Structure 1
Amino acid sequence: MNTQDGKITVVGGGAIGGIVAARLARSGQAVSLLARGAQLDAIKRSGLSVIDGDDRYTLKVDATDQPETLGVQGLLFICLKGPALTAAAASLTPLVGPGTHIVSVMNGVPWWYLNEFGGALAGQRLESVDPGGVVSAALPPSQASGCVVHISSSIAEPGVIRKGYGNELIIGPGSARMADRAAHAVELLRHAQFDVVASDDIRRDIWVKLWGNMTMNPISAITRSTGDVILDDPLTKNLVVSVMEEARRIGKEIGIELTMTTDARNAMTRKLGAFRTSMLQDVEAGRQLEIEAILGAPYEIAVKAGIPAPFISVLYGLVGQLNANLIKQA
């Protein structure tokens, strides 16, 4: 399948970026991968390997940590956690031209979320995920689309990605002018054997996933409890519901209606059993937590809109202190 987007780069060689790059390469696309550290060294030495059930394959991928060597890209998949994107944003400017299509493949609220959206908040910058405008300066919000990931994946060892459950990506344009480009990205990833849903309201889809992440992730990080324990305890479940109802009100203020009940959403989560959230895994590994996109941005939107969010603010403050302690200990 030929791509109208020209050169393609996946930014971030971690668990999700790695599987996206590998699947694209396996489908015949010439794709570059921006990675770093041991992951980059292993990929350059032995290729990028994927373990997917009984299927294991290895591909040669053009991997580098020098974006300036790649030139302007037609399509960029941003597969970084929030703190990593903030740190790397300025270095990505050589990849972006006026025709570059930028697809954020990230958890939580992305830097472009309020571009041409949000009622009275439309066009405002979110300091929590775009401090000082550093991300927007490198990755123009008007050129962005969004991707919600429903795939479990992990790094088994440097250069090796182990795909877990799920295979769904939800993709939609951030603005009407990007609709054709987003539709092409959908087809590109379908050809790469992902189950891709074309969204007509990607901001709502992002908020729906956030609705679960903004409770289970930080509560599990603070308590070290698995998902089943959190939802089976009436007190922590009440906290989950209180945060979700605040998020529902915040979403409504900026134009997002959530029709699902909190009980229905939590029943879906409970079916996952004794799962360890990504934030809990980060705590156990001593890694910096992805807080701002998951809690900081919703809280900032609430403040801007004048909506009380006491439960979100408490959770945001507690997990922020936890993160600060992890950084000190690193």
Structure 2
Amino acid sequence: MRIGVIGAGAIGGTIAALLDRVGHLVEVTARGEQLAAIRDDGLRLDGGWGVHTARVAAAETLQTRPELAFVTTKAQDAPAAIRANAAALDGITVVIVQNGLAGLREAEQLLPGSDCVGALALYAASYLSPGRVSVTTTANTYLGAGDGPPPAAAVEAARILDAAMPAFAIDNFTGAQWTKLMVNQINALPAITGLSAQQVLGDRRLRPIVTASLQEATRVGYARGVRYGSIQGLDDRILRVVARAPRWAAQAVPLLMKRRMGSTPNPGSTLQSIRRGQLTEIDYLNGAVVDEARTAGVDAPVNAAITALVHEVERTVAFLTPDQVAERMRPLLA
């Protein structure tokens, strides 16, 4: 099958390499050093799903019309990437693999003639160097759309992807997006401190901050009428308890996340962007919580402060120590 992957970074590179390994004709889009490396030496994958070098076609935009496409850029880059490839994407199934809440909705507006479905990639992968990606934690990818049963396009795309990596079509995709947003509450503190997600969640100064942002975000979801989906050990019942629990008790959830990550250091996608000198997705993660809170008529000061700290690190390219972060956040956690 001809498959296009728009954005061959950590997540997209993993999808492209594994689909190539099971025999599909894969074309990827990339830019700069990444594009040159893929053209010269292939797309090299290692880690949890084995080692494979994918000799895939690569260009800045898709050069052939695929039968199925995955959009795996950073959330803020997706609209421009979709517009640049719109002719190739028109009329086919397009899978939007992104963090945050807005990606699928934006794609549907930009591609009215296509079957757009969402995907949540729960595995962790790191962009190590141009052309090289490493899977640090294996996990499922979930596909769907809306708050009902998965559409036929999601079921078929999941079937194709599942031959290469664990993938499933699910009900209540919107609720699962919100639960993934709660999981992504761990992304910001590594970007602020330069520490791995495991180090952040194991730090007694930082874990209460992650817990406070998680509780606040969970409450915002309930204020918006969300019924959370079940992924990575979290579901509506557990998150309802998290929203109401005292902070010391709610810290059990970040500790559970830490155990699920394993021992291989996971920097998170936001820190990876900082290290590469790129803008992060923070406005689509903690920033999305702030936006949704505003819509619901409630406040989200912890998530707003964390969003501002990530933007500060983007500007200064200087990480904060755990003590500095704890001091800056202390007034909001009192």
The TM-score normalised by the length of structure 2 is 0.77
Matches within 5 A, 1:21-60: 21-52=16-47, 55-60=50-55
Q: Is the alpha carbon distance of 1:320 and 1:142 closer, same or farther for their aligned partners in structure 2, counting shifts above 3 Å?
A: farther
**What is aligned with 2:127?**
155
- Asked whether 1:268 is paired with 2:256, we answer yes
**What is aligned with 2:169?**
198
Give the unaligned 5+ runs of structure 2: 229-235, 243-249, 319-334
List structure 1 runs of 4+ shifted beyond 6 angstroms. 175-178
- Asked whether 1:181 is paired with 2:153, we answer yes
Distance in 2 separating the partners of 1:21 and 1:228 = 27
CA shift, 1:141, in A, is 10
Deviations 1:91-117 (A, max 9, x none): 1222232x322211122223335xxxx
SS in 1 for 2:95: strand
CA shift, 1:159, in A, is 2.5
**Amino acid of the structure 2 residue aligned with 1:287:** Q
Q: Is the alpha carbon distance of 1:74 and 1:285 closer, same or farther for their aligned partners in structure 2, counting shifts above 3 Å?
A: closer
Equivalent pairs: percent with the same residue? 28
Q: Is the alpha carbon distance of 1:8 and 1:175 closer, same or farther for their aligned partners in structure 2, counting shifts above 3 Å?
A: farther
**What is aligned with 2:183?**
212
- Asked whether 1:170 is paired with 2:142, we answer yes
CA shift, 1:89, in A, is 3.6
Q: Is the 8 A contact 1:146 1:172 kept in 2?
A: yes
Q: Is the 8 A contact 1:144 1:174 kept in 2?
A: no
CA shift, 1:235, in A, is 5.0
Q: Is the 8 A contact 2:190 2:268 kept in 1?
A: yes
**Amino acid of the structure 2 residue aligned with 1:70:** T
**What is aligned with 2:330?**
none
CA shift, 1:228, in A, is 4.7
Distance in 2 separating the partners of 1:248 and 1:207 = 9
Matches within 5 A, 1:1-330: 7-52=2-47, 55-67=50-62, 69-71=63-65, 73-97=66-90, 99-113=91-105, 137-140=109-112, 143-174=115-146, 179-192=151-164, 194-214=165-185, 216-252=186-222, 253-257=224-228, 258-260=236-238, 261=242, 262-271=250-259, 272=261, 275-326=266-317
SS in 1 for 2:206: helix
Q: Is the alpha carbon distance of 1:228 and 1:182 closer, same or farther for their aligned partners in structure 2, counting shifts above 3 Å?
A: closer
Deviations 1:53-94 (A, max 9, x none): 694333321221133x324x4422011112332443421222
Q: Is the alpha carbon distance of 1:81 and 1:291 closer, same or farther for their aligned partners in structure 2, counting shifts above 3 Å?
A: same
CA shift, 1:168, in A, is 1.8
Q: Is the alpha carbon distance of 1:226 and 1:30 closer, same or farther for their aligned partners in structure 2, counting shifts above 3 Å?
A: closer
Give the unaligned 5+ runs of structure 1: 114-129
CA shift, 1:236, in A, is 3.3
Distance in 1 separating the partners of 2:257 and 2:49 = 27
Q: Is the 8 A contact 2:147 2:175 kept in 1?
A: no
SS in 1 for 2:154: helix
Mean Cα displacement is larger for which, 203-212 or 257-266?
Answer: 257-266
**Amino acid of the structure 2 residue aligned with 1:43:** I
Tell me the C-alpha RMSD between the 2 structures.
2.9
CA shift, 1:137, in A, is 4.8
Deviations 1:196-215 (A, max 9, x none): 2321122222222221322x
Number of aligned positions between the proteins: 297
